[in-house]
Structure 1
Amino acid sequence: MVSQISIIAGRGRDGRCDRIERLDLNMGDVVSVVGRTGSGKTTLINDIELFADGDTPTGRRILFDGVPAAPEDRDDPSRNPIALITQHTTFLSDLPVTEFLVTHARIRARSQAAAQALVAETLMFANQLTGEPINPGSRMTELSGGQTRALLIADATVICDTPIVLLDEVENAGINRTRALELLRRHKRIFIFVTHDPRIALLSDRRIVMSEGRITDVLETDEEEQAVAPAVTRLDDMLSHLRERLRGGLRVSRADLEVA
C-alpha cells in the first residue's frame, strides 16, 4: 500500500520550472489544486494519473514511496494505486447500478459475498452525497450528473480502496461538498481536488497554486482561513437553498437569505 506520493518539479508552458522542487503528499492529506482556467490544474493531475516519469510534456516525475511506479501497477487494474474522477462520465456499458458495482468489486479480486457487502456500503456512501437517492436497479446512463459523480466518488473510496483519489471539479456535479469531505477524511487516503470552489479549497489541508502550466506556490490552510471557512459554508448553503427552490418551481423571498 502506497503511503506517500512525491511530485518532482517539471516545467510550465513557457519552459520555466515549477517553483516547488519537490512536494510530498502523505496518507490522510486532502489537497486542492487551484488556479485560473487554463493554468495547468488538470495537466498536473494527469501527470499523477499517468505515473509521469519525465515522459510527459511537463517533464514532471511522480514517485510512490520514493520510487517510480512499478510496471505491474501500471498494467494491472487491480494494483493501480490511483482512482481518477473527471468531469466526463461516459460509460462503455449501460449496466444497472448494482451490476456495475458488483463487476468492479469482482475485478478487485473480491469474493461474491464480499462484493455484495461493498456494493451496499458504496450505495450508502453515495446517497449521503446526493439529494436524490440512487435506485440500485437504474442503469448508469439514467443517473443524473450529481448521482453519477457521487457514485463514482463512493466507488473509488470503498470498492477501489486506492490510496490516491484524484477529483476533477466535482463541485459542478451538485453533490454535498462539505459532507463529501467529512466522509472522505474518514477513509485516510490522499485526496487531490482540482477545484474553483472556495469551500473545498478552504476545507483542504493545503492548496497547490498553478499558473502558466507550472506550480507557483503551495499554501497551508492557516488558522485565519479555517475561521473563514464556516462563513463561506453558510453563504454556499444559502445559494444551494435558493437554487433548489428555483429548480422546484418555487418563489424566493428575503427570508430565504436567512436559511443558513
Structure 2
Amino acid sequence: MAQNVKIREIVKDKTIAEIITNYPVVQDFFLNYNLQDLQKNLTVSQALEKILTEQLEEFGLDVFSLTEELVKFMATLVNNREEREKVQNITIIGGRNKQGEAENVTLTMAVGEVISIVGPTGSGKSRLLGDIECLAQCDTPTRRQILINDHPLSDEERFDMGNKMVAQLSQNMNFVMDLNVAEFLAMHAKSRLCENSEQVIKQCFVCANELAGEKFTMDTKVTQLSGGQSRALMIADAAYMSSSPIVLIDEIENAGIDRKQAISLLTENEKIVLISTHDPLLALSADKRIVIKNGGIHKIMETSDEEIESLKDIEKLDTIMLGIRQQLRHGERVYPLKFVL
C-alpha cells in the first residue's frame, strides 16, 4: 500500500517524460491504450485532459481510472523487482532420462552457490539448462520439476516477462541492435530500474573490460564486439544490473574471458550459478557437480577435500596453458616446457 502511495505521487507530480526516463516500459502502457502521442512535457492528468474523451471511452476508462491503471502497472514493476530479490534457493526434482528411467534425484541450490554440469557432448547438459530456464513443471520431455523457495510455480509466475528469475548466457552471444556499448548499458539500466544508473553503467563497463581478453570502449558498437567481449559484457550486466537471481552459463571456457573471475563476480552478487562445462578447473571449483549421462542426471557429487587439493596443480597447469596461448596470440615462439607440479 505504501508503495502505491509513492507511485501515485510520482504520477501526479512528474511529467510523462520524467516518468519514462525512470520507468521506460511505461511507454508500452501508453501504447496499449493508443496514447503514445501524449504531450511528454505535461503530467499524466494534464496530458489526458487535452485528448478527446472518446479515446478513453473506447477502453471504458476516464482520466481518473486510466491514471489508477498506470499506478497499478508501475507498482507491479517495482513489486516484481522486490520479489525477485527474495529468491533464496532453487530445487531440481528429477524426471526421466532418454530411456525413460527415473532420475531419482532432488538437488537444492542456495544463493551464492556454484553448481557445475558435466558430461559428454550430447549427453543432455543443455537440456538441463533449458529445463531450469523455463522453470519446468513436469511439462518438458525430461518431466523434471523446478521449485523456487521450495514451491512450484504457476504459469503466470513462469512466463511473466517483468519477473524473469533466470538469466542465461549461451555459447553464442550475437547482438542485432546498432547501439554502442554506452547506449546498450544505458538502455538496460533504465529498463531494469537501476538506482544510481550512471555508477552502475560505469561499474559494468570496467568489469567487462577486466574480464575480456581484449579491451573495448564505450563507443564500440555492440555488433563489433568479439564473442569473448560480448560474453564479458553480458556477465557484468547479469552481475550488476539484472535482478534475476539464477544465472545459467553454457561453456564459459570457450569465451576467451577470465572464467574464474566471472564466476566469483556472480556469486559475490548473490546469484545462484549453474555452469555447463568441460573445464576441470571450473568443474572442481564448484560446490557440487551434476553428472549427466544418457540425457538424465546420473549422479550429484560434492567436491571432495582431495579434489580441492588437486586444484592447486590444475591451476598451475592452467597458468602454463594461458601463457602458451598468449605467446601464440602475440606471434611468439613456443619452446619445450620445463616445469614441476
TM-score grouping bracket, smaller chain normalisation: over 0.9
Q: Aligned residue for 1:120?
A: 202
Matched position secondary structure for 1:147? helix
Q: Does 1:54 align with 2:138?
A: yes
Q: 2:232 aligns with which of 150, 163, 166?
A: 150
Q: Does 1:12 align with 2:97?
A: yes
Post-superposition shift, 1:259? 11
Q: Aligned residue for 1:84?
A: 168
Post-superposition shift, 1:183? 2.4
TM-score (norm 2): 0.71
Higher strand share: 1
- For the 8 Å contact 2:174–2:230, the answer to whether it is kept is no
Matched position secondary structure for 1:31? strand
Q: Aligned residue for 2:87?
A: 2
Matched position secondary structure for 1:250? coil
Post-superposition shift, 1:54? 1.0
Post-superposition shift, 1:70? 4.6
Q: Letter of the aligned partner of 2:194 in structure 1?
A: R
Q: 1:237 aligns with which of 308, 311, 319?
A: 319
TM-score (norm 1): 0.93
Q: Distance in 1 between matches of 2:213 and 2:174?
A: 22
Matches within 5 A, 1:1-260: 1-20=86-105, 22-110=106-194, 114-254=196-336, 258=339
Q: Letter of the aligned partner of 1:201 in structure 2?
A: A
Higher helix share: 2
Where do 5+ consecutive residues of structure 1 fail to align? none
Matched position secondary structure for 2:172? coil
Matched position secondary structure for 1:128? helix
Residues 32-54 of structure 1 show CA distances to partners (whole Å, capped at 9, x for unaligned) of 00000111100001000011011
Identity %: 41
Q: Which has the larger radius of gyration?
A: 2
Post-superposition shift, 1:187? 1.6
Q: Aligned residue for 2:42?
A: none
- For the 8 Å contact 1:97–1:137, the answer to whether it is kept is yes
Post-superposition shift, 1:10? 0.7
Segments of 4+ moved more than 6 angstroms: none
Once the two structures are overlaid, the 10-residue window that deviates more, 191-200 or 139-148, is 139-148
Post-superposition shift, 1:19? 3.5
- For the 8 Å contact 1:238–1:259, the answer to whether it is kept is no
Query: Per chain length, whose mean CA-contact separation is higher, i.e. which structure has more relative contact order (CA < 8 Å, sep 6+)?
Result: 1
Does the C-alpha gap of structure 1 residues 167 and 160 become closer, same or farther in structure 2, counting only changes over 3 Å? same
- For the 8 Å contact 2:194–2:241, the answer to whether it is kept is no
Post-superposition shift, 1:145? 1.2
Matched position secondary structure for 1:54? coil
Q: Distance in 2 between matches of 1:209 and 1:198?
A: 13
Does the C-alpha gap of structure 1 residues 131 and 5 become closer, same or farther in structure 2, counting only changes over 3 Å? same
- For the 8 Å contact 1:27–1:189, the answer to whether it is kept is yes
